[in-house]
Amino acid sequence: MLNTVSRYYFSANGKHIRPLLVMLIAQATSIATKRRGRTSILVDSDPHVKSGLTILPTHRRLAEITEMIHTSSLLHDDVIDHAETRRGLPAIQKRFGNKMAIFAGDFLLARASMALARLRDPEVIEIMASVLCDLVDGEFKQLKNLEDEDAPMAQPDESAFEYYLEKTYLKTGSLIAKSCRSSAILSNSTDDIVEAAYIYGRNLGIAFQLIDDLLDFTVSSTEFGKPVGADLELGLATAPVLYAWQEFPELGPLVARKFSGEGDVARAWDLVHASSGVERTRALARRYVERANEALSILPSSSATQALERVTLSVLTRTK
């Protein structure tokens, strides 16, 4: 039963962008400069693969680990957020109940931890373990924001955007960034290439979430695979709302009471669409996409780096 529940979202129409990035970084870094003096037991190899763009067995395992961690976070998030749907399916707790959904998420994390240990790379194990801390920290930041009764009534300042972007990194960007870093490490890449992989993933991850927050205001529930306007219903002020708030100060009281008043959600929705919030959010995401692709310039040109650039640009045009 636990296996059935934990596989529920794997069979759905997910994007699987995280394992794809792990594989592409693996290929892109396979022909890049290698680090010297690393213990041989930590450097994976596949004698049956010709030289060139290669994906090692450890990269494949890392891709699986990354998707397991991501899926476990979806299982937990949907319970916390009382979600109705996910990927066009009833949310897992609607099908199996809260307890089974939580157990399934925990089960996936346990399986991911076991697989991570089998990589036998202390550096990668530490990096990927820190992702779990980041996910929880990001959730606490969101919870603290929702429970803060002293939210400012004036227009948002830089600290509001910084808080939002930090939470965005912790909840979304960290897993992507650190998976990319770990993939480069498993390729035995030099420190500068490992750092470039991390910078690429960090900027792509933030751009991905910015577009996700934007889509909450621009597509239908059928296209998105989950209810639109859900962030407002949860009391969350995402980038489109923060930008709209700068143009319409009357959004302040709505943000302060987490859109809990009668008609608040509809009013906030209208103000976001009356503002340039959506366009400014897309422009911000574009800047992060540009930074991500700039980070790839250190890597040798290859079909893998070109694919990474295409994946990054596709984030801006996605509709689900």
Q: Where are the beta strands (DSSP E) in the chain?
A: 85-86, 89-90
CB 22 within 8 A of CB 66: yes
The CATH number of the domain holding residue 142 is 1.10.600.10
Query: Is residue 225 over pLDDT 60?
Result: no
Tens-place pLDDT, residues 181-219: 999 999 999 999 999 999 999 999 999 999 999 999 998
Helices (H) and strands (E) in the chain, counts: 16, 2
Backbone angles phi, psi at 86, to 5 degrees: -155, 125
Percent of the chain with pLDDT over 70: 86
| Residue listed under structure tokens 């450097």 | 43
3-state SS, residue 34: strand
Given a cut of 60, whether residue 134 has pLDDT beyond it is yes
**pLDDT range class, residue 223, cuts 50, 70, 90:** low
pLDDT reported for residue 5: 73
| Residue 162, pLDDT above cutoff 80 | yes
pLDDT reading at 49 higher than 50: no
Number of Cβ atoms within 10 Å of the Cβ of 212: 18
The range of the structural domain enclosing residue 138 comes to 2-317
Structure tokens at 107: 């089960």
Q: Quick one: pLDDT band at residue 152, thresholds 50, 70, 90?
A: low
> Over 70: is that where the pLDDT of 114 sits?
yes
Separation of alpha carbons 176 and 237, rounded Å: 23
Give the count of beta carbons closer than 10 Å to the beta carbon of residue 82. 13
Long-range contacts of 109-115 (CB under 8 A, 24+ apart): 109/68, 109/69, 109/72, 111/68, 112/65, 112/68, 112/69, 112/72, 115/61, 115/64, 115/65, 115/68
- Per-position b or e across 192-210, b if 16+ CB within 10 A of its CB: ebbebbbbbbbbbbbbbbb
pLDDT at 227: 64
Q: What pLDDT is stored for residue 193 in this prediction?
A: 98
Strand partners, 141: none
pLDDT at 85: 80
134 CB-near residues (< 8 Å, 6+ apart): 169, 170, 171, 174, 175, 178
Residue 96: is its pLDDT beyond 50? yes
Strand, helix or coil for residue 316: helix
Per the model's pLDDT, the better-predicted residue between 128 and 79 turns out to be 128
Tally of domains within the chain: 1
The predicted model scores a pTM of: 0.89
Which long-range contacts (C-beta less than 8 Å, at least 24 apart) are formed by 261-270?
A: 264/232, 265/229, 265/232, 265/233, 268/232, 268/241, 268/244, 269/217, 269/229, 269/232
pLDDT tens per residue, range 240-293 = 999 999 999 999 999 999 999 999 999 999 999 999 999 999 999 999 999 999
The whole-number pLDDT of residue 155 equals 76
Q: How far is CA 268 from CA 163, 233, 253, in A?
A: 20, 10, 11
